[in-house]
Chains A and B, each alone.
Chain A
Amino acid sequence: MTGQPNGMTDRGVSRRKVLVGGVRAACGAACAGIALAALSEKSEAVAPPALRPPGALAEDKFLSACVRCGLCVRDCPYDTLDLADWSDPAATGTPYFLARNIPCEMCEDIPCVAACPSGALSKDLTNIDDARMGTAMVVGRDTCLNLLGLRCDVCYRVCPLIDDAITLEERANTRTGKHTIFEPVVHADTCTGCGKCEKSCVLEEAAIKVLPTALAASGDDDHYRLGWEEKRKRGESLLKDVLDLPDRGYDAGRPLAAPNSVGGYQEFKP
């Protein structure tokens, strides 16, 4: 090449042309890379209501591992799983499920995890009860039949970890003043996020929904300490002299309720 005049190669292509072509190619590829990077940023999170299969790694690790082959989808005996398309709420080609459509039936042999060739569904999950696909939450606190004072109990009864992941907490029904409200309470430390509760909620729009754990969890907060716990640990109150601040907006002489009012137990006539 060096022996040629005017920087021409032996094939008659000028060095400038080669350089320009190379720079152009590099610029084009850089544009493609930037677009791809933007896309990968956008796909960082799995959006509710999409849930990952049992054993799925944390979302960022999941996206670096899942090869999007669909083998978990194929081996799911209940057709729970599906592969996301561009328009679905999870990264393209990755497996997800919608609890309200088909929840996870929590197979003991966990065939989806067994089928995964990538490790995106971790083989460390051997007991399906340890799965954390999400966390159920009673989101419809004003529509849940149990919270309205009725005995629906369906979410509680279908829960594979009944009395662990969902318990019914009793409290007084202040509306009737007579009955008990059996409030379904989800315990995030045991809830697998299988979604059977959400699937079977009798309402038009489920009052209990499984959310991705990252969204549902409030996280540990070590900033605040519980006085009674500290007292128990230490054997005595942390504060020697209880602070007694003046009460505001409270008139000690005022009667607690109007003497002639009716209501509650007195008013209730079945």
Chain B
Amino acid sequence: MTVRYGANPQRIPGRDAIAVKGWLRAHKWLIARRSAQAGFLAIFMTGPLFGLWITKGTLAASMTFDVLPLTDPFVALQAFLAGQVLATTGLIGAAIVLAVYAVLGGRLYCSWVCPLNVVTDAAHWLREKLHIGKGWQPNRNVRFCVLGAALAVSTVFGTIAWELVNPVTMLHRGIVFGSLFSGLSIGIVAAVFVFDLFVSRRGWCGHLCPVGTFYRLAGQKSIIKVSAANRVACDDCMECYAVCPEPHVLPPALRHGTNGGGSPLVQLPDCTLCGRCIDVCPTDVFRMTHQFDFRETCHAGAAPKAAALAGSWLKEA
């Protein structure tokens, strides 16, 4: 394996990938993801802004083109525990959303839909810029406890408990209803930003948020997966770990030699399917695929080029 970073001593993730694949290919999934996030927001915004109604409501419950009801199943579950079975449209909406995430991928919501992801990604970006370390890393199971606490409070107090504090819906509601800066919503969102920036690296989405945790549980057996199909080309540059919001999902797929083979698929449901690992990998180890694709490939495209590039950097250094 070639040791790189001759010209990248600070190990800025993605820099090698840009050099090898070009900026656009090294940002393909990030651009797609930001476009999706913007698009999901835009369908709620065309109505209030231009009178062109596509989707009414918020992420808690919405109605698209007056025919497609969608409901947050976590909210529906809390309402049920609080003693209220939703109206038929609400239940249908919850079933549709649950089915989509259960089949496609639970935490697709986190990286492709959730508006708060942009905030926490921004906090992470700044955290890396300021060279703040990992900070406080609460146990990854805390999020299950928070989820349980939200459900317990809903049951005991007969209210949809998480919606009292949920920064995801507060941000979305604030943007869609134009009240983001007129109340405390922005304060809650800012608190999450500050928490992720100064207290805990990837703290909110990765360790605490019960909304993502709910979708993660729903998508245990989902289809879309990232695969380290070309893992033989991995040169342990660790850039995928640097950008991955849930880095512990990578080793089982990548560490083929040490653990005696195994599937190249990123199987852990914590994976948000953001695809950033695909972008930043200079040797094109990863690709977006499905649950039943166990193929392993070694395409000679990027790898030799990367090695050559690394060689030239080493000479410079």
Task: Give A residues with C-beta under 8 Å from B.
Answer: 21-22, 24-26, 28-30, 32-33, 36-37, 39-41, 43-44, 60-61, 63-71, 73-75, 82-83, 85-88, 91-93, 115-120, 123
Whether B170 sits at the interface, judged by CB under 8 Å, is yes
Closest chain-A Cβ to B170's Cβ sits at a distance in Å of: 7
* Number of CB contacts from chain A to chain B under 8 A: 170
What 16 new A-B contacts, CB under 8 Å, besides A28-B138, A65-B82, A83-B177? A25-B138, A30-B149, A36-B165, A43-B159, A60-B158, A64-B154, A65-B84, A68-B160, A68-B173, A69-B60, A82-B177, A86-B184, A88-B183, A117-B61, A118-B87, A119-B84
Q: Are B161 and A36 in contact (CB under 8 A)?
A: yes
Most buried by A among B71, B152, B164: B164
Closest chain-A Cβ to B121's Cβ sits at a distance in Å of: 24
Of chain B, the residue at the smallest CB distance from A18 is: B139
Q: Are B170 and A92 in contact (CB under 8 A)?
A: yes
Q: Which of B244-271 contact A (CB under 8 A)?
A: none
Bitwise interface map of B from 63 to 103 toward A, beta carbon under 8 Å scored 1, else 0: 10000010110011001001111110110010000000000
User: Which of A29, A43, A67 lies in contact with B75, CB distance below 8 A?
Assistant: A67
Q: Are A117 and B164 in contact (CB under 8 A)?
A: no
Closest chain-B Cβ to A246's Cβ sits at a distance in Å of: 56
Closest chain-A Cβ to B67's Cβ sits at a distance in Å of: 13
Closest chain-A Cβ to B3's Cβ sits at a distance in Å of: 27
A21 to B187, CA, bound (A): 30
User: Which of A24, A66, A87 lies in contact with B184, CB distance below 8 A?
Assistant: A87
Chain A contacts for B169, CB-based, 8 A:
68, 93
User: Which of A26, A41, A83, A118 lies in contact with B179, CB distance below 8 A?
Assistant: A83
Chain A contacts for B93, CB-based, 8 A:
117
Of chain B, the residue at the smallest CB distance from A33 is: B149
A73 to B57, CA, bound (A): 8
Q: Are B183 and A40 in contact (CB under 8 A)?
A: no
Q: Are B145 and A69 in contact (CB under 8 A)?
A: no
Q: Are B87 and A92 in contact (CB under 8 A)?
A: no
Whether B191 sits at the interface, judged by CB under 8 Å, is no
Q: Which of B164-208 contact A (CB under 8 A)?
A: 164-165, 169-170, 173-174, 176-177, 179, 182-185, 187-188
26 CB < 8 A contacts A-B: A21-B139, A29-B148, A30-B149, A33-B149, A33-B153, A37-B157, A41-B157, A64-B79, A66-B160, A67-B71, A67-B72, A69-B57, A69-B58, A69-B62, A70-B56, A70-B57, A70-B176, A73-B177, A74-B53, A83-B179, A85-B179, A85-B184, A86-B183, A93-B170, A117-B71, A123-B87
Most buried by B among A39, A60, A68: A68
Chain B contacts for A123, CB-based, 8 A:
87
Q: How large is the interface on B (under 10, 10 to 19, 20 to 34, 35 or more residues)?
A: 35 or more
Whether B146 sits at the interface, judged by CB under 8 Å, is yes
Chain A contacts for B314, CB-based, 8 A:
none
Chain B contacts for A74, CB-based, 8 A:
47, 53, 56-57
Chain A contacts for B90, CB-based, 8 A:
67, 117-119
A32 to B174, CA, bound (A): 23
Closest chain-B Cβ to A147's Cβ sits at a distance in Å of: 37
Q: Are B142 and A68 in contact (CB under 8 A)?
A: no
Q: Are B141 and A63 in contact (CB under 8 A)?
A: no
Chain A contacts for B156, CB-based, 8 A:
37
Closest chain-B Cβ to A71's Cβ sits at a distance in Å of: 5
Closest chain-A Cβ to B139's Cβ sits at a distance in Å of: 4
Chain B contacts for A73, CB-based, 8 A:
177
Chain B contacts for A37, CB-based, 8 A:
153, 156-157, 161
Q: Are A67 and B160 in contact (CB under 8 A)?
A: yes
Whether B128 sits at the interface, judged by CB under 8 Å, is no
9 nearest A-B residue pairs (beta carbon): A85-B183, A29-B145, A33-B149, A64-B82, A86-B184, A69-B61, A117-B90, A119-B87, A65-B84
Chain A contacts for B60, CB-based, 8 A:
67-69, 93
Q: Are A116 and B139 in contact (CB under 8 A)?
A: no
A71 to B63, CA, bound (A): 8
User: Which of A25, A29, A39, A87 lies in contact with B164, CB distance below 8 A?
Assistant: A39
Given the contacts A67-B86, A117-B86, A40 and B159 also touching, CB distance less than 8 Å: yes
Closest chain-A Cβ to B179's Cβ sits at a distance in Å of: 5
Closest chain-B Cβ to A112's Cβ sits at a distance in Å of: 12
A64 to B93, CA, bound (A): 18
Given the contacts A40-B153, A69-B60, A118-B79, A64 and B185 also touching, CB distance less than 8 Å: no
Closest chain-A Cβ to B310's Cβ sits at a distance in Å of: 32
Chain A contacts for B141, CB-based, 8 A:
21-22, 25
Chain B contacts for A117, CB-based, 8 A:
57, 61, 63, 69, 71, 86-87, 89-90, 93
Whether B150 sits at the interface, judged by CB under 8 Å, is yes
Chain B contacts for A86, CB-based, 8 A:
183-185, 187-188
